[in-house]
Structure 1
Amino acid sequence: MLTATGVTVRFGKRVLFEDVNIKFGKGNCYGIIGANGAGKSTFLKVLSGELEPSKGEVSLEKGERLSILKQDHFAFEEYTVMDTVIMGNKELYDIMKEKDAIYMKPDFSEEDGMKAAKLEERFAELDGWNAESDAAMLLNDLGIIPENHYKLMSEIEARDKVKVLLAQALFGNPDVLLLDEPTNDLDLKSINWLQEFLINFENTVIVVSHDRYFLNKVCTHIADVDFGKIKVYPGNYDFWYESSQLALKQMKEQNKKKEEKIKELQDFIARFSANASKSKQATSRKKTLEKIELDEIKPSNRKYPYVDFKPDREPGKEILQVKNISKTINGEKILDNISFTVKTGDKIAFLADNENAKTVLFQIIAGEMEPDEGELIWGTTITKSYFPKDNNYLFDVDENLTEWLRKYSKDPDETYVRGFLGRMLFSGDESLKQARVISGGEKVRCVLAKMMLSGANFLIFDEPTNHLDMESITSVNDGMSKFKGNILFTSHDHQLTQTVANRIIDIKADKVIDREVTYNEYLGIE
């Protein structure tokens, strides 16, 4: 068991969190959530021992081993892939190397023999004889082919380094597993495998992630970093989110009788208990949920941007026909004879073996690139707005944010434009920031504001959740779900894709698959 007792972290006068007291129990998976800058990754560093708290202590039960997902993908370049994974259990790796060094000695002494015997005993206790086969199994499950297992880390692709470091963290059945954004840079197959691994993992997992679907699948508890405190709630991310929204609503309804509020809470918990996951933790989670008291749920301190796309006019029956589109870039055929028709009400999620195919197709549909062959036939009532994956070119101007956004507004009044920026969390003087120096997340919020002001009835999104925090992702998800027009989009956010799309188009190397299903239904078909 890992225990945080009276933990406080301060940087100068700023208190990230104070007096945190949490026991992380065996068999549970804790999702650490909080606004950007709240201290989620810092808390993981404190738990791992990498960072000393300003006050308090973190203790691990005697004899237990803690493992952490390393963030430096280039830290093991001179080691083989196999050795890098086994390093996940440092004691075992050190014994292996010490043992090998003794056996390599040309003048092997009696003392060496006694030392080797002791090392062999501990090696067997740590299940060392199965180390390489266990490591190989993890690597195979994560899609690292056997031919690469004994290559140097410097010889494998960057996307595979991420998987090797994940295998390193999972290796040797650690008692406590700390994972900071484990789904970043992972393909869908690897994410699904990791979800199943963690659902069946019998020890303690503590994870920071912006992936709501992932948190919903694996978490038994949510640890919320808010108001300078860290409070643990039973249940997954959806339970935390819905309960915090309920608490906010009840706080605004001060006159409501306590009995009515308790009844509202009980109905809410009953619904979530019924929807608990089928994992082995479901029964205990249900019992914990049923014990929750009214005062235990606090409204969140989070700020959610207001995302609402309202079309100026309804689209007619004719939307868009994409006919035989082909495009070659630098000698590589990116799109080959792509055809489909967008119908009324379609919200289409695009998948592709080649990531670039989606971006190039969206650039052609948005009018930012010409196809080599084929044509687009638009309905006469359609107006479009485009969210590019790389939006930096839009901000290469000497303007502040108010001036930048005013160009796209039908109402040029500064108060109106600044009010719109305020809805996107740019308050006061922040709306006077220079456009070219704002962060990636701020640029995304500005492009979303531009799209909302457009009044378009046909929206194209290329990875709209990149650089966003969980609150903004939730708002974008809600805005896309409520939108009454057509959407073409691609996103690595599973929950957004599942809740927005009613049709999937998958661009394969040799064919295009087009199905009117949800994302989860499509993955089931595949």
Structure 2
Amino acid sequence: MVRELIRLEGVHRAFGAVSVLDGINLRIDEGDRIGVVGHNGSGKTTLLRTISDQKQDVGDITFAPGLRIAYLTQIRDIDEYATLEEELNRRGHQFKELEEEIAAIETKMADPSFYEGDWQPVLDRYSELQALSARSGGTDVAGHAKNILNALDLGHHPLDMPLSKLSGGERAKVALARQLVGMGEIDVFFLDEPTNHLDLPTLEWLEKFLAKFQGSQLIVSHDRFFLDRICTHILEIHDGHTRGYAGNYTAYLQQKELFLQTLADRIDKCEKEIKRLTGALQSMKRANKYDKSISQKHQMLSRSQRELKWLKRLKPKERRGLQFNLQSTEKSSLDVLDFKQASLKFEGLNRPILNKVEIGVRRGQKIGIVGANGAGKTTLLRIINKEIQLDDGIIDVRPGVEIGYFHQDHRTLDFDLTPVEQVQKLKPRMDYGDIRAMLGQFQFTKEMVSTPLKKLSGGERARIAMLKLLLEENNMLLLDEPTNHLDTDAKEAL
């Protein structure tokens, strides 16, 4: 019989007046690999956090006894001021309760009165916890992670390298490596946008790792191909409610299309029945014909109206389409910029980031920059944006070039501000009504426009960063991982 690991019954979660999860029922069994999908801000991350922390407002969340959860968060939990070794030795989510229980028992054992009672069961539990800690890597997490570091192509970095010198993709790998330590002892793995920042070889390795992992998985992702290859079930969140589908992402799309078509047919049939019954009752009234069939028809009409109301509640609300209307200022010169013998090397790396690079950018070009994590893609953009100086050579940015930069970590935003305040900071003379209208075009509701960015999802932050580019009216865009965090509709609009 399949073991039940987690059960949610009637779970509600709200933030202020905004209801995010509304009566969620969910069961996670041993071996389930569930993909969680939905538009930006639908509550996917909130669902994972609510289950992990068991902090629902209403309803019940039940864990199997001794359940152990690992959680890779969407906003990577990384200390950029730490070294690689220090970060790997920092305990992941899955070790927290284990360490707390060990510490509590050790405190009891330090009290002489402890041994006056029945202490043997406590010592047995202590031995069990110590054995579990040892199997999970004990205190030598960095040593236990060596194979994972090599698999993630991080093994060539010295362990004393500061994380601040790693690329965004490499830091994402470090966060992943720290969670993967001791995975043999984990029952459920929560992954929130695990493919963000990862290069293709790492993504392929992660897919193989998760396919072999014996525990259950709850995965939030907008990567349909990743979900296709990994998931056995799909859970869609829409308007605070969930609907489950068996199979991978492709099967989900097929089933959803069938569901929506069947729903549309039933609504159409119900509306026609209401029209027929209403017409029949009106005809009987005009003919002054009253018999027992009138009561029956009234009952049938009332039943059909209730059914129509119920069916329409099942129909997903249509969202306003997202449009990125990026307008440039005056055109730049034909020659936009040139690298001439450009060289750069970072301390601690045994290779140059740039080695006598000669390349030019011309007006109208759309240039994709590809390469492995740590190859220097972000560094190249930061050089163009004058955030990093070359060691040798020059970069010649022509007069009249106005640069707009979309950082992969959205660092140009002030996370303490609300979306309205962020726009007002950039355009202080813009009318408040115009700001609200513009934010509405970017799918921000009246509740969201007054919520600090630090409380919004990654996709919502990305939309604000895109809006910032729109308002700046640049004629050259530097886009660093612009599709990270965006849902499918937003990606297509971009």
CA deviations on 1:296-335 (whole Å, 9 max, x unpaired) are 995366666322447799999x776734252669999764
8 Å CA contact retained: 2:8, 2:24: yes
The yes-or-no answer on 1:139 pairing with 2:145 is: yes
The size of the alignment, in residue pairs, is 401
Checking the alignment, whether the CA contact within 8 Å between 1:328 and 1:334 is kept in structure 2 is yes
Q: Secondary structure at the match of 2:210?
A: helix
Corresponding residue number in structure 2 for 1:423: 441
CA distance 1:391–1:209, change in 2 (3 Å): closer
The equivalent position to 1:349 in structure 2, one of 334, 355, 369, is 369
Pairwise CA distance, 1:347: 3.6
Q: Which amino acid aligns with 2:340?
A: N
Equivalent of 2:340 in 313, 324, 346: 324
Alignment partner of 2:234 out of 222, 234, 240: 222
Whole-Å separation in 2 of the counterparts to 1:446 and 1:326? 33
**Secondary structure, in 3 states, of the residue corresponding to 2:324?**
coil
- Secondary structure at 2:369 match in 1: strand
Code of the residue aligned with 1:349 in structure 2: it is I
Please, which of 191, 208, 217 is the counterpart of residue 205 of structure 1? Answer: 217
Does the CA contact (< 8 Å) of 1:310 and 1:452 recur in 2? yes
CA contact under 8 A between 1:85 and 1:168: conserved in structure 2? no
Q: Secondary structure at the match of 2:31?
A: coil
Task: After superposition, give the CA deviation of every residue in 1:447-502 in whole Å (9 maximum; x if it has no partner).
Answer: 52354467777532134356x5x43xx3553244xxxxxxxxxxxxxxxxxxxxxx
Could you say which residue in structure 2 is the equivalent of 1:387? 405
Equivalent position SS for 1:322: strand
Q: Which residue of 2 aligns with 1:261?
A: none
Q: Distance in 1 between matches of 2:88 and 2:473?
A: 55
Partner of 1:162: 175
RMSD after superposition:
6.4
CA distance in 2, matches of 1:238, 1:18: 26
Counterpart of 1:305? 322
C-alpha distance in 2, partners of 1:369/1:193? 32
- AA aligned opposite 1:324: K
TM superposition shift of 1:164: 5.1
Q: Secondary structure in 2 aligned to 1:425?
A: coil
Q: Establish whether residue 44 from structure 1 lines up as the match of residue 48 from structure 2.
A: yes
Moved more, 432-441 or 367-376: 432-441
Q: Secondary structure at the match of 2:340?
A: strand
Question: Once the 2 structures are TM-superposed, how far is the Cα of residue 430 of structure 1 from its aligned partner?
Answer: 8.1
Q: Post-superposition shift, 1:29? A: 0.9
Distance verdict in 2 for CA 1:241–1:119, change over 3 Å: same
Larger Rg: 2
Would the alpha carbon gap of residues 37 and 319 (structure 1) be closer, same or farther in structure 2, given more than 3 Å must change? Answer: same
Work out which of the residue numbers 62, 68, 71 in structure 1 matches 2:70: 68
CA distance change for structure 1 residues 201 and 363 in 2, over 3 Å: closer, same or farther? closer
Residue 28 of structure 1: how far off its partner (Å)? 2.9
- TM-superposed CA distance for 1:193, in Å, is 2.5
Quick one: distance in 2 between partners of 1:365 and 1:127?
A: 48
> Does the aligned pair in 1 maintain the 2:136–2:184 contact within 8 Å?
no
Distance in 2 (alpha carbons) for counterparts of 1:190 and 1:6: 37
Residue 361 of structure 1 is matched in structure 2 by 380
2:235 partner amino acid:
A
1:362 maps to a residue whose letter is L
Deviation digits for residues 43-75 of structure 1 (CA, Å, limit 9, x no counterpart): 335545743662235253x7x84432377778x
Q: Which of 340, 347, 350 is equivalent to 2:359?
A: 340
Shift in Å, 1:7: 3.0
**Equivalence map 1:102-117=2 (5 Å):** none
Kindly indicate whether the alpha-carbon contact (under 8 Å) linking 2:345 and 2:353 is maintained by their aligned counterparts in 1: yes
2: distance between equivalents of 1:449 and 1:80? 36
Kept in 1, the 8 Å contact 2:40–2:460? The answer is no
Aligned counterparts of 2:383 and 2:464: Cα–Cα separation in 1: 23
The equivalent of 2:308 in structure 1 is none
Name the CA distance, whole Å, in 2 between partners of 1:137 and 1:193: 20
Counterparts of residues 183-202 of structure 1 (less than 5 Å) = 190-202=202-214
CA contact (8 A) 1:85 1:171 kept: no
1:4 matched residue in structure 2? 7
Distance in 2 between the 1:35 and 1:447 partners?
17
**Residue type at the aligned position of 1:424:** F
SS class of match (1:362)? helix
Alignment partner, residue 524 of structure 1: none
* Aligned-partner Cα distance in 2 for 1:87–1:454: 45
Q: Equivalent residue for 1:178? A: 190
Question: What is the match of residue 287 of structure 2?
Answer: none
Taking structure 1 as reference, are residues 419 and 229 closer, same or farther at Cα in structure 2, changes over 3 Å only?
A: closer
Residues 159-168 or 23-32, more deviating: 159-168
Q: 1:163 to 1:352 in 2, by over 3 A?
A: closer
1:29 aligns with one of 27, 33, 45? 33
Q: In 2, distance between residues paired with 1:177 and 1:365?
A: 39
- The CA distance in 1 between the partners of 2:223 and 2:347, in whole Å, is 36
1:477 equivalent in structure 2 = 491
TM-score scaled to structure 1, two decimals? 0.52
Q: For the residues of structure 2 that align with 1:456 and 1:249, how far apart are their CA atoms?
A: 44
Structure 1: which 5+ runs fail to align? 102-110, 259-293, 481-526
The residue type equivalent to 1:462 in the other structure is: D
Partner of 1:232: 244
SS at match of 2:237: strand
Deviation at 1:163, TM superposition (A): 4.3
Go from structure 1 to structure 2 and tell me whether the alpha carbon gap of 1:254 and 1:170 turns closer, same or farther (over 3 Å shift): same
Which structure is higher in RCO with an 8 Å CA cutoff and minimum separation 6?
Answer: 2
Distance 1:452 1:217, change over 3 A: farther
1:192-220 Cα deviation digits (max 9, x unpaired): 42221112334421223466654444222
